[in-house]
A and B are shown apart, each in its own frame.
Chain A
Amino acid sequence: MIPDSLSTKHPAAAALASKFGDAVIEGNDDHGELTLFIAPASILDVCRFLRDAHEFNRISGITAVDWYPADPRFEVVYLLHSIPRNQRLRLKCRVGENAEIESVTSVWRGANWYERETFDLFGVRFANHPDLRRIMMPTDWTGHPLRKDYPVHGHKYSYQNE
């Protein structure tokens, strides 16, 4: 549930809370930026609703934060932007290491590469993504470099004895 102060200030947050109920887990507007935690199962519906009813016509970016060793370990972050209303909104979903989250490519085609990047660098899998391949790393790479348990210098080299 999101606090009442948030609902009164942000109509989009209030509309989401009334339509999706418990799927909107919590929220805050620290530093003046609205952030809502969404249950991973409803992310696609939430995004479609926000685009259609609240004019969030762009996705600025999708990324993840690895809170290793917490469980669920990843927070997938969606940076939404509405040009007609000049608003920004951040959606977050907590997903585990082996969990899958629904792709939002069907809502904004621009999500495609951001989800590929998140998959490549974090290993978060997006279900029903049209083309979930690595984008930054070579195709035969093993591991996901932005995970916290991945060493900065990679697995191949060790500088411990130098």
Chain B
Amino acid sequence: MQELEAHVGVEDAKPTEDELRRKRMTLNMGPQHPSTHGVLRVMIELDGENITRATPDIGFLHTGIEKECEVKTWHQVVTLTDRVDYLANLSNNLCYALAVEKLIGDIEIPPQAQWMRVMLTELTRINSHLVWLGTHALDIGAMSVFFYCFREREDILRIFEMFSGQRMMTSYIRPGGLALEPPRGWQDAVRKFIDAFSSKVDEYEDLLNKNPIWLRRTKGVGYISLEDMLDLGITGPMIRGAGLKWDARKDEPYSSYEKFDFEVATHTDNDVWARYRVRMEEFRQSTRIVKQALDGMPGGPWQANAPKMVLPDREKMKTQMEALIYHFKIVTEGYRVPAGEVYQVVESPRGELGYYIVSNGTSHPYRVFMRTPSFGNIQGLGKLLEGSLIADSIASMGSMDFVLGDTDR
């Protein structure tokens, strides 16, 4: 309309109707936009209300974590992995720890540590999906879901605080096991939460499943073909929402996931609704895994018997000279990791999270490459938005569930 008015009174410049129809408008979305949940800029080319092209522009949150890793010792890098994806800290901790352990080779992680890792990463998945559901519903216009989700998220963060002393930047999973002994009474806290959680998921579904606004804004919106997704590097609930049953927990099991009984959630609709259904099902499956971990948690040590790389017990440091020496060595010089390279994959709440680590035999990593799920997913954002309505772009972007810290590193 503004376009038209600008031409009023200027006879020569008045565009023909055909010219107006062909006129494209470029719209800049972000970098500060409430629905991108971070700093993402998308250049959108519009033909009327239809998006003809969308180009994401990233890098606003680039903090050089990979470079930083190269000057830290192997032990210190754990704290940096927390900060990559700030909604799935423990998944990042786990991926890094598994990669370092694979590189070291002759280290045996005790069963209790492995099971605890599974339990905590599943709680992380629930936590991350809760933030996704709350904010996604808020974007689309269902505000109350947000309050329900953050109520439960608070419980999970309390559990994390109980374990590690931190709500978000946990650094709890370390190469060699866990950072601290599981706290007294953790079983009760986790059981209290997980027993109540199934009914909470029903509550969210009551709020949304029959909500006509939610249905209209999600069903049939945000289609992208599976071939495009695989070609562009999209993983996680996005491809499972298109019917592909690929999940690193099943296909490349790590940390004794093969001992747990769970289903990989899939859906065939391949739209925003399907991705919502997949994540709701993942709530239920994660609940199942946490319950199994609670019931069958093995006893015994929670750290590997590797005094040269695992920090010693504080009490032992006061009485044993060796423990004090090892502590001093690990903290000042750091432990050495044999030269080599590995690529380790875990299923983060957002998709394939991989750490490609190169060691040259010193006490610092030579190169840490983080294959983060959000980076791969945002690469497909242009294709996802292409051809859709501008009003649907928020729903489509939300269904992707990216974290910009995870993208830019």
Q: Which residues of A contact B354 (CB under 8 A)?
A: 60-61, 79
Q: Are B369 and A63 in contact (CB under 8 A)?
A: yes
Chain A, range 100-141, C-beta contacts under 8 Å to B: 108-110, 112-114, 121, 134-138
Q: In this complex, what residue of B is CB-closest to A83?
A: B246
Q: Are A83 and B244 in contact (CB under 8 A)?
A: yes
Chain B, interface SS category? mixed
A65 at the interface (CB under 8 A from B): yes
Q: Are A110 and B232 in contact (CB under 8 A)?
A: yes
Chain A, range 11-29, C-beta contacts under 8 Å to B: none
Given A31-B102, A31-B342, A90-B343, check contact A58 B59 (CB 8 Å). Answer: no
A146 at the interface (CB under 8 A from B): yes
Q: Give A17 Cβ to nearest chain B Cβ, in Å.
A: 21
Q: Which residues of B contact A58 (CB under 8 A)?
A: 230-231, 233
Q: Which residues of B contact A152 (CB under 8 A)?
A: 67-68, 70-71
Q: Which residues of A contact B134 (CB under 8 A)?
A: none
Q: Which of A90, A113, A137 neighbours the largest number of chain B CB atoms within 10 Å of its CB?
A: A113
Given A30-B340, A110-B376, A110-B379, check contact A137 B230 (CB 8 Å). Answer: no
Number of A-B contacts (CB under 8 A): 84
Given A33-B342, A113-B379, A135-B58, check contact A77 B356 (CB 8 Å). Answer: yes
Q: Which residues of A contact B230 (CB under 8 A)?
A: 57-58, 83
Q: Which residues of B contact A66 (CB under 8 A)?
A: 367
- Size class of the contact patch on chain B: 35 or more
Q: In this complex, what residue of A is CB-closest to B68?
A: A152
Q: Which residues of A contact B341 (CB under 8 A)?
A: 30, 33, 35
Q: Are A108 and B231 in contact (CB under 8 A)?
A: yes
Q: Give B35 Cβ to nearest chain A Cβ, in Å.
A: 22
A31→B106 CA distance, assembly (Å):
11
Q: Which residues of B contact A61 (CB under 8 A)?
A: 354, 356, 369, 371, 376
Per-position 1/0 for B103-122, Cβ under 8 A of A: 10100000000000000000
Per-position 1/0 for A48-69, Cβ under 8 A of B: 0000000001111101011000
B24 at the interface (CB under 8 A from A): no
B366 at the interface (CB under 8 A from A): yes
A109→B233 CA distance, assembly (Å):
8
Q: Name B252's contact: one of A79, A86, A112, A113 (CB within 8 Å).
A: A86
A136→B407 CA distance, assembly (Å):
10
Q: Are A63 and B356 in contact (CB under 8 A)?
A: yes
Q: Give A32 Cβ to nearest chain B Cβ, in Å.
A: 9
A146→B68 CA distance, assembly (Å):
10
Q: Name B105's contact: one of A31, A86, A90, A110 (CB within 8 Å).
A: A31
Q: Which of A31, A59, A145 neighbours the largest number of chain B CB atoms within 10 Å of its CB?
A: A31
B358 at the interface (CB under 8 A from A): yes
Q: Are A60 and B59 in contact (CB under 8 A)?
A: no
Per-position 1/0 for B60-80, Cβ under 8 A of A: 001010111011000000000
A88 at the interface (CB under 8 A from B): yes
Q: Which residues of A contact B376 (CB under 8 A)?
A: 61, 110
Q: Are A135 and B59 in contact (CB under 8 A)?
A: yes
Q: Are A110 and B233 in contact (CB under 8 A)?
A: yes
Q: Give A13 Cβ to nearest chain B Cβ, in Å.
A: 17
Given A83-B230, A109-B231, A152-B71, check contact A31 B62 (CB 8 Å). Answer: no
A86→B345 CA distance, assembly (Å):
13
Q: Are A110 and B102 in contact (CB under 8 A)?
A: no
Q: Are B367 and A65 in contact (CB under 8 A)?
A: yes
Q: Are B103 and A31 in contact (CB under 8 A)?
A: yes
- Shortest 4 CB-CB contacts between residues of A and residues of B: A110-B233, A61-B371, A63-B369, A136-B62
Additional A-B contact list (7), CB under 8 Å, known A60-B371, A61-B371, A112-B379: A33-B341, A33-B342, A60-B343, A60-B352, A110-B379, A113-B375, A136-B58
For this complex, 17 residue pairs linking A to B, each with C-beta atoms less than 8 Å apart, are A31-B342, A60-B343, A61-B354, A63-B367, A66-B367, A79-B356, A79-B371, A83-B230, A83-B246, A88-B343, A121-B66, A136-B58, A137-B62, A145-B64, A145-B67, A146-B67, A152-B67
